Amino acid sequence: MKKTIEFIFDFASPNAYLAYQLLPGIVQRTGAELAITPCLLGGIFKATGNQPPMLAFGGVQGKLEYEQKEISRFVKKHDVQKYQFNTSFPVNTLILMRAAIVASDEGRLAEYIDAGLSAMWENNKKMDDPEVFVAVMNDAGFDGANLLERTQDPSVKQRLMDNTAQAVSRGAFGVPTFFVGSEMFFGKDRLAQVEEELQLD
């Protein structure tokens, strides 16, 4: 029976982008399926009392500098050549994540995530600007204006909130989080453990 990697996902995290680059290789090696669950990282933080690293560790001498060094090492090790830090960070991803629900309904979630991640973490786009969002999605082959309009649909808003609440109820406190069955793994540096879990009989 095929196993599934569930990715609790939000565009807001650079580590979500970096993890996403490694997932195709894991899927290929293990034969697993990838299921992406759009959630709102800010909602996860609010529900769990967690904070983004820049707030949580901003007063810790050397901590944020080390985090950047660790990202640089990861990028080099895994040859993620296109990554660049978004100068608009932190970006409010509410539009992006609601539109991910819409794209999922259309069967185009993977294509949409590729477009959004590329814009955010390769091309330095300010994706909480509605005009930028529409232009990026038009260029990616979507109807950007239609996607933006549908982010105001109450059912879309509710499903994103429900996804977020369910992730928290299962133990998620940040992004990237992965589930293999009932086992939870947090962070891009746990992907080796995710792969090991997938290979267990």
pTM of the model: 0.94
CB neighbour list of residue 75: distance below 8 Å, 6 or more residues apart: 18, 81, 83
> Between the CA of residue 167 and those of 22, 98, 162, 181, what are the distances in Å?
22, 16, 9, 13
- Per-residue pLDDT, averaged over 176-200, amounts to 96
Q: Is 169 exposed, middle or buried (0-12, 13-18, 19+ CB in 10 A)?
A: exposed
User: What is the C-alpha separation between 176 and 9, in angstroms, rounded?
Assistant: 6
Report the DSSP beta bridge partners of residue 157.
none
Domain boundaries, the chain: 4-199
- Helix 191-199 crosses helix 14-30 at what angle (to 10 degrees)? 20
CB neighbour list of residue 138: distance below 8 Å, 6 or more residues apart: 144, 145
- Per-residue pLDDT, averaged over 19-40, amounts to 97
Count of alpha carbons within 13 angstroms of residue 15, beta-carbon side: 20
Q: Is 201 exposed, middle or buried (0-12, 13-18, 19+ CB in 10 A)?
A: exposed
Query: So what's the pLDDT on residue 60?
Result: 86
Residue 82's pLDDT band, with cuts at 50, 70 and 90, is: very high
Query: So what's the pLDDT on residue 168?
Result: 98
Please count the residues of the chain: 201
Q: What percent of the chain has pLDDT over 70?
A: 100
With 90 as the cut, is the pLDDT of residue 2 above it?
Answer: no
- Per-residue pLDDT, averaged over 64-75, amounts to 91
Q: Which residue has the higher pLDDT, 71 or 57?
A: 71
pLDDT tens figures, 109-165: 999 999 999 999 999 999 999 999 999 999 999 999 999 999 999 999 999 999 999
Quick one: which of 95, 121, 98 has its CA closest to 21?
121
Q: Copy the structure tokens of residue 90.
A: 């932190």
H or E stretch covering 195: helix 191-199
CATH number given to 4-199: 3.40.30.10
Query: So what's the pLDDT on residue 53?
Result: 80
User: What is the C-alpha separation between 160 and 175, in angstroms, rounded?
Assistant: 15
* Angle formed at CA 155 by CA 109 and CA 159, multiple of 5 degrees: 55
User: What is the C-alpha separation between 70 and 72, in angstroms, rounded?
Assistant: 5
